[in-house]
Structure 1
Amino acid sequence: MEKRESSETEVAIGSDTNEPHYKPINESVKEPSYATKDEQASTTDDKTEDSSNLQPAQTNASEDGWHYVTGMKLYLVIGMVTLACFIMLLDTSIVATAIPSITSDFHSLGDVGWYGSSYLICSCALQPLTGKIYSRFSSKWVFMFFLFLFELGSMITALATSSNMFIVGRAVAGMGGSGLVNGALTIISACVPLHKRAAYLGFMMSFGQIGILVGPLIGGALTEYTTWRWCFWINLPAGGVTALILFFINIPSRIEKIPFRNNVKATLVSLDLPGFFLFAPTAIMLLFALQWGGTKYAWGSATIIGLFCGSGGLFAVFVAWEYKKGDDAMIPFSMMKIRIVWCSCLIMLFFFGTQIVTSYYLALYFQAVRGVTPTLSGVYLLPTILSQMLLAVIAGVLVGRLGYYMPWAITSGVLSAIGSGLLATFTPTTSTGTWIGFQIIGAVGRGCGMQMPIIAVQNVIPSKQTSVGMSIIAFCQTLGGAMFLSFAQTGFNTGLKEALHQYAPEVSAEAVAAAGATGFRHIIPAPSVPGVIHAYSQAINHVFYIAAGAAAASFVASWGIGWKSIKKAKTVKPEV
């Protein structure tokens, strides 16, 4: 321990260490320090980090000198960034039920794949760069810029007069959406101390992700009773209210921002644009391969293999460049070498894969197998929505009180895997009590763990890298959704064809696929309908196995986020 210049000391108790931690009175520590493994051994219970890494030693005392947003202003900030995330995630799923009407208006059935992929590709490719932008400029103004882009894309889409214009609008909206989730996480981390952050993040993430669940419901209702254009018009008033309220609230900054006009060249260099231009095509080729594989092209086709090889080769070049850039890279190696960081990224990837697959295919089960309307299927999803939201808030509050987040992440993986596995037992005649109970088990699991990877990363990296860390987490979330939706689509299509041969061999699989989940009852003979329903049920069950596998993978990754506490230390003066 270093020699103290003052004999007066304070003893911090209640932290996650077994030894007291001393600091001079009135000493204000504003940045986490970097410590070697040997130095950290005396201040943390986690002894398993790689000895070659330099780890950021986060301490509770490092936040004591910071100013946080409180009272009504804090609630407004949390509410507005949550609303922005809600409309962004709503936008990713609302288009699904509007696509049939859009293709009818534009006579563009061949462009269907681009309606979803244009948004996803732009969002995924830009996310790591947005982290560097947030680390360089004011988080409030950057967030409002991306919100403006998202709203502009929504307006272009709503006003589209052709399929190409619609695709451009979706691409612009995707560019804006790339900076909203990680911007919201960055803003919350600046406004709320770490030991209280889990509860607010749980609320933001659970409420925001309701947008994914209710998107098809709202999209179907708007398309049926008004026009598909309202699926995008509704984003504008919500975005306008968000921007207006945030404009009048000061968001504290945790890092020194150098004005762009003072040093344009240095600013551009700090953004690591070469890294972005290597990363973007890497992500785009990977997403194209996942979207087209098994649908437009066979998985073994030259196109899909070429896309995977191109993505892998360019990724190797990207890694070499990032290694050369060091801590100035778009994705710093010093951060990704930390076990807690890359394990948290894996958790988020697999967690969101489970979340989005379960959400999409539960709605499909109710509409295709049970034959209910889109509106009623949304009602049937309430056990998932309410349970997940409630547990996310409860888990966040308890983490703030108890300190440790790893048990919640582990519990989340266990319950999510069990819940998804139980969903795979659904049949066309599953009782109401059963499908409600099984939904709750999985939703409780997902609610327990959705914010834990974010808390883990924020607890282990220095504040100046928070925005970069959040952008990587957001990228893993988006990539996980894209990957597992692709896996689920392939599994569903394959399972449906096989099940139709078993339960309704007289029915054309192509005709059933063309009719859609809610239209097959009107085009096939009545005696064949029960067989097709059984085929749909079995195919959806195969998808829930994929979701269960993703949840099990998140359980394994959860053991790597460390037995660390975020509980705020109590300080007492020693008796003289």
Structure 2
Amino acid sequence: MNRSLYVGVFGLLLGMFLAMLDGLIVGTALPTIAGDLGGLDRLPWVVTAYLLAAAATTPIWGKVGDLFGRKATFISAIALFLAGSGLAGLSQDMGQLIAFRAVQGLGAGGLMVGALAIIGVLVPPRESGRLQSMIGVIMPIAYVGGPLLGGLLTDYLSWRWTFYVNLPVGAVALLIISTRIHLPPAERVKPRIDYGGAALLTTAIVALTLLAGWAGTAYAWTSPQVLALGALSVLALAGFVAVERRAAEPVIPPRLFADRGFTLAQVLSFLVGAAMVSVTNYLPQYMQFVQGASPAAAGMLLLPLMFGMLAAQLVTGRLISRDGRYRRYPILGGALMTAGSLALLLLDASTPAPAASALTLVIGTGIGLVMQSTTLITINGADPRDMGAASGTVTLLRTVGGSLGIAVLGTLYAARMRTDLTARLGAGQAERLERSGELTPGSLPRLPAPVADAVREAVTSGLHALLLGAAALAAISFAIAWLIREIPLRTEPAPQPPPEPAPQPEPKASPQPNHSPAPQPDPEAAPSPRKG
């Protein structure tokens, strides 16, 4: 990669860093937010609203970038994300926070896809692993420092600063991208937005997420609300597939899925997103409720998980750049994710904090291996014209996986925790405890010892239910990874398609200025100026 591009690429990675930082910072602040704003029963929606909005808009951002310009689209996504961040920090109740988190998510949907699409144009897949040297500078702040920084801000300033901190970082990213990223001129395409496909995809994602979060908790599985959501999800997905097959510029081009590696990479991205978001958002609650850690200390206890993710991505990127082989990494990642999820079942109310922290290393390493390899497989399997749509698809599937994962596995967590708490304290006392707002880490020391012990055991039981679900997802990932075939990665950048003497009309004239007009546009005229 040209050295002059490093500063510009750093700005792109800084944009990606915003989305990563926000999700990880908020995880350690969630219990404190619930204690301040109330609405403990709606707490999962602080995460779900963000992921849902990001998932629904990710493919749209990618396609808009392909049609209107990737740089301008990426800058717009950052600006919207920063507006949502400022508003979220000003929230006065849980409803406002959830709504502004959705605004944040609307912008976040374009951050990862925009950066990946631009990098896919500027840098060949075989060389993209070298970008890990730059990622190594900024990703520790997100993966490792994110939970710690969130805890420190919550402890010493306010949870509101977990949102405000995005503003200066975003300002730097905007400045660098505006001045240092210069993309090659793209082929002019008449913009044709697939409004029908975008609407159907958004409807399907929202309905699926609501179904996953409400079924069996807010409403019975056989209730009219859940059955209606299920029917709406199926109809919207079927309609989306039909519309995409006929659309001139589909949000997710069906031709992408003709590549087997691309399709499998999307399935793996969905599964790893579900496992990663669920585990990283609920482990801090165990650390605070059961281990008695402060938000800052809970972030520190997750350092092995974050270091494992970071190291796996760095090493995988380097190794793939060296020999171009990638099939072994999603297989190994799936195995480590499965083993790591099962190892975390050893956690209980008496587990020493250092041991609990160390047990997170294995699953973190597995997540990093799968994430890095699936991104490279996706970029390698897409044509230059579809780079934005392909990057949007892998980010979409990862985000939808996270949204559905935290809804489904979070529901398992809450149901098991409530059942265990009821069994230990009785239905009346358990319900009073939940309604009183005292079911937070800060209020736990003030509760009678038997009640506090019951809460710790119930939280541990809920975490075990979530980890069993994560282990099942990881095992499926391991099985699917074996189906990937090794296809050599490209060693050249993905250029914009040049004008060709093809049947399609081109605004550019023939490169042969001395070629006399011929009655037939014969393609073999290139070697000699005239025919004998």
1:521 corresponds in structure 2 to 444
2:268 corresponds in structure 1 to 347
Question: In structure 1, what is the Cα distance between the partners aligned to 2:333 and 2:228?
Answer: 37
2:287 corresponds in structure 1 to 366
1:560 corresponds in structure 2 to 483
Query: What is the RMSD of the two structures over their aligned residues, measured on CA atoms?
Result: 3.0
2:209 corresponds in structure 1 to 287
User: What letter is aligned with 1:467?
Assistant: G
Instruction: Indicate which of 153, 160, 170 corresponds to 1:222.
Output: 153
- Give the drift of 1:399: 0.9
Question: In structure 1, what is the Cα distance between the partners aligned to 2:133 and 2:472?
Answer: 24
- Give the drift of 1:164: 6.3
Instruction: Indicate which of 431, 452, 456 corresponds to 1:533.
Output: 456
User: What letter is aligned with 2:196?
Assistant: P
1:275 corresponds in structure 2 to 197
Are residue 499 (structure 1) and residue 430 (structure 2) matched? no
- Give the drift of 1:485: 0.8
2:71 corresponds in structure 1 to 140
Instruction: Indicate which of 302, 306, 309 corresponds to 2:231.
Output: 309
Q: For residue 221 of structure 2, give the secondary structure of its aligned residue in structure 1.
A: coil
User: What letter is aligned with 2:167?
Assistant: L
Instruction: Indicate which of 152, 156, 166 corresponds to 2:87.
Output: 156
Question: In structure 2, what is the Cα distance between the partners aligned to 1:364 and 1:147?
Answer: 30
1:470 corresponds in structure 2 to 391
1:278 and 1:318 in contact (8 A); partners too: yes
Question: In structure 1, what is the Cα distance between the partners aligned to 2:30 and 2:271?
Answer: 27
User: What letter is aligned with 1:463?
Assistant: P
Return 5+ residue gaps in structure 2 as ranges.
493-532
TM-score norm. by structure 1 comes to 0.77
Return 5+ residue gaps in structure 1 as ranges.
1-68, 259-265, 570-576
Question: In structure 2, what is the Cα distance between the partners aligned to 1:299 and 1:220?
Answer: 37
Give deviations 1:247-305, integer Å, cap 9, x for gaps: 111333484244xxxxxxx31x2x21221122222222222222333443333322122
Question: In structure 2, what is the Cα distance between the partners aligned to 1:412 and 1:485?
Answer: 21
Indicate the larger mover: 442-451 or 179-188: 442-451
Change (3 A) 1:439 1:207: farther
Change (3 A) 1:103 1:422: closer
1:411 and 1:445 in contact (8 A); partners too: yes
1:409 and 1:448 in contact (8 A); partners too: yes
Indicate the larger mover: 137-146 or 93-102: 93-102
Are residue 335 (structure 1) and residue 256 (structure 2) matched? yes
User: What letter is aligned with 2:473?
Assistant: A
Change (3 A) 1:484 1:414: same
1:503 and 1:534 in contact (8 A); partners too: no
- Give the drift of 1:237: 0.7
Change (3 A) 1:348 1:184: same
Aligned length: 490
Are residue 426 (structure 1) and residue 347 (structure 2) matched? yes
- Give the drift of 1:396: 0.8
Question: In structure 2, what is the Cα distance between the partners aligned to 1:431 and 1:114?
Answer: 31
Change (3 A) 1:404 1:111: closer
Q: Identity of aligned pairs, percent?
A: 28
Question: In structure 1, what is the Cα distance between the partners aligned to 2:99 and 2:414?
Answer: 29
- Give the drift of 1:358: 1.9
Are residue 235 (structure 1) and residue 166 (structure 2) matched? yes
Are residue 543 (structure 1) and residue 475 (structure 2) matched? no
1:357 corresponds in structure 2 to 278
1:41 corresponds in structure 2 to none
Question: In structure 2, what is the Cα distance between the partners aligned to 1:102 and 1:382?
Answer: 22
Question: In structure 1, what is the Cα distance between the partners aligned to 2:232 and 2:370?
Answer: 35
- Give the drift of 1:209: 9.0
2:23 corresponds in structure 1 to 92
Instruction: Indicate which of 72, 97, 111 corresponds to 1:180.
Output: 111
2:31 and 2:285 in contact (8 A); partners too: no
- Give the drift of 1:159: 4.1
Question: In structure 2, what is the Cα distance between the partners aligned to 1:433 and 1:167?
Answer: 34
1:321 corresponds in structure 2 to 243
1:402 and 1:567 in contact (8 A); partners too: no
Change (3 A) 1:434 1:160: closer
